Chains A and B, each alone.
Chain A
Amino acid sequence: MAIAVFFFFAALAIVGGVGVVTLHQPIRSVLSLVVVMLSLSVMFLLLSAQFVFAVQIIVYAGAVMVLFLFVIALLGPARELGRGRLRFQTSLSILFVLALFGLMYALIQGIQYRQPEHADLSFFGTVQSIAVGLFTTYLYPFELTSILLLVAAIGAIYLSRKRIDDL
């Protein structure tokens, strides 16, 4: 069952990823990305990361994607020109990316896995275990991310304000 679920959602994620890159309307790219994110959330569930699964659906597939849809609705359907100014950009980048994939494939084949630490799998990935990590060992990084979010919010408000010379 787990293997079937893995391959179904892996195929769905790859189809969605291809859709993000190839579809010409930006709104279709965003909806393909939602497909990818929901498939990845199932992957997180398979990897017993329940809390990351919930956050993936709420924050990513929910908030971030709605933000993208909102901006597309605001800007209108932007068409895309067929080609850029650089003549060989498409072929060169596909070549480069294939080389990158070959490198990553070789890395994945050569990984020396360490022995697992034999944690309690019924406890692993629950909200409780995440909270123990976030509020003890990683308290300072956790607090720093709240500052990062504050800075991002202030920056977004500053960038989207009405200019005085526009009035």
Chain B
Amino acid sequence: MSTLSIGGQQLDASWFLLLSAILFVLGAVGVLVRRNPLVILISIELMLNAANLALVTFSRQLQNIEGQLFALMSMTVAAAEAVVGLAILVDIFRARDVEDVDDLSELRG
């Protein structure tokens, strides 16, 4: 039931989902462990990509196009998130050099 016939071979949908889970977890490690705000944003992009892979996998398994449409929407949201996040980062870096996100813990900048 969960096997997908691709190019004449049988691939299991759970392989794709497992890859998606591994990439999501790696992104979560990046967000939690890394100190540089830029690398944290990059890790968030990694997590969003992993979620997209799961959406497209389920879309293919159900042979229903809606999963791919949702992946396209989430790409748009990711692009908007990157633009605004990087703009905030540039604005902060203009005021001072940030090496650690914990440097930004006070309310007044």
Residues of A within 8 A of B (CB): 1-3, 6, 10, 13-14, 17-18, 20-21, 26, 29-30, 33, 36-37, 40, 43-44, 46-49, 51-52, 55-56, 59-60, 63-64, 67-68, 71-72, 74-75, 78-81, 84-85, 89-90, 93-94, 96-97, 100-101, 104-105, 108-109, 111, 113-119, 121, 124-125, 129-130, 132-134, 138, 141-142, 145, 148-149, 151-153, 155-156, 159-160
Contact = CB atoms under 8 A, between A and B. Distances in A.
Main secondary structure of the interface of A (DSSP, over half): helix
Interface string B6-31: 11110101111111011111111110
B50 to A, nearest CB: 8
Contacts of A159: 84, 87-88, 90-91
A149 B79 contact: yes
A134 B69 CA distance: 7
Nearest 6 interchain pairs by C-beta:
A93-B32, A152-B80, A17-B26, A159-B87, A2-B7, A156-B87
6 contacts: A2-B7, A6-B15, A93-B32, A130-B72, A133-B65, A160-B87
A84 B102 contact: yes
B65 A124 contact: yes
A74 B6 contact: no
B79 A46 contact: no
Given A2-B6, A13-B19, A93-B33, A113 B13 contact: yes
